Amino acid sequence: MSITRSPSPEAPVTEPAATGVLLVGHGSSHEPDAAGTIEGHARPLAERLRPMPVRHAVLNGAPRLEDAVEGLKDLDRLLVLPMFMCDGYLATGLLRDRLAKPMADGRIRLYPPLGMAPEIAGLVRQVTRETIADAGWRGKNVDLVLVAHGSSKDGASRRATERLINGMPPLAGVAKVRAAYLEEAPFLADVVAGLDRSTVVLGLFAAHGPHATED
């Protein structure tokens, strides 16, 4: 028989630690609306997590990362989620450097970038299936091209894209999945020039910036 002991009257009653969430994106010092997409994520997340505070910040432009962290300094824990598609320099090196001082007291937890989450593969599959259905391509073989930023100086974007492709189970109706990049080979223009059947093109970008909408 087990006996459950009640706490003694003298035992202190501890309140749950106050926790907040901070979404951090790239931003831009030239585009005033660069933080719009990340703000659009923060708003519904705040509704779901209420009363937990949810804020957003960017590395370039406003709202500044340092200002957002300062505004949440009274919290016991701050969960920081980088809204980037790979674990490159911006999402790891630069962000960690700028958080170094506030992270020293141990209350900040920096998570891996959004694009590294295993759920991204399921989201890609869902969007691909919906696109095939909307285009009326069911029953025929199509290709899927995943477009990422890429970089000749940092291989993180390529590694994340290849990891995503290699980890995705076969998708019904999709004959081939290939990668294309904006700033390294295989370049998007070259991949598009070689397409020979109906193709779904999906950009691996965290926001509706110029790369995702214009390039």
The Cα diameter of the chain in Å comes to: 76
What integer pLDDT is reported at residue 2 of this predicted model? 40
Per the structure block, which two tokens stand in for 97? Answer: 């450097």
Three-class secondary structure assignment of 77-131: EEEEEECCCCCCHHHHHHHHHHHHHHHCCCCEEECCCHHHCCHHHHHHHHHHHHH
Alpha helix positions (H), the chain? 36-49, 65-71, 95-103, 119-135, 156-167, 188-193, 210-213
Q: What are the tens digits of pLDDT across the range 75-84?
A: 999 999 999 9
Nearest Cα neighbor of 58 from 80, 76, 43 is 80
What integer pLDDT is reported at residue 32 of this predicted model? 65
pTM: 0.82
Cβ–Cβ < 8 Å for 19, 52: yes
Distance separating alpha carbons of residues 69 and 152, to the nearest angstrom: 32
Per the structure block, which two tokens stand in for 31? Answer: 């585009």
Nearest Cα neighbor of 80 from 99, 105, 101, 104 is 99
Per residue of the chain (215 residues), give pLDDT as tens: 343 444 444 544 444 469 999 999 998 877 766 778 889 999 999 999 999 999 999 999 999 999 999 999 999 999 999 999 999 999 989 999 999 998 998 999 999 999 999 999 999 999 999 999 999 998 889 999 999 999 989 999 999 999 999 999 989 889 999 999 999 999 999 999 999 999 999 999 987 666 666 76
Per the structure block, which two tokens stand in for 116? Answer: 């590294």
Nearest Cα neighbor of 115 from 131, 92, 97 is 92
Task: Work out the percent of the chain whose per-residue pLDDT is above 70.
Answer: 88
Cα 108–114–115 angle (5° rounding)? 145
Q: Which residues contact 69 (CB under 8 A, 6 or more apart)?
A: 22, 57, 78, 99, 102, 108
The DSSP output letter for 187 is B
What integer pLDDT is reported at residue 11 of this predicted model? 46
What integer pLDDT is reported at residue 123 of this predicted model? 94
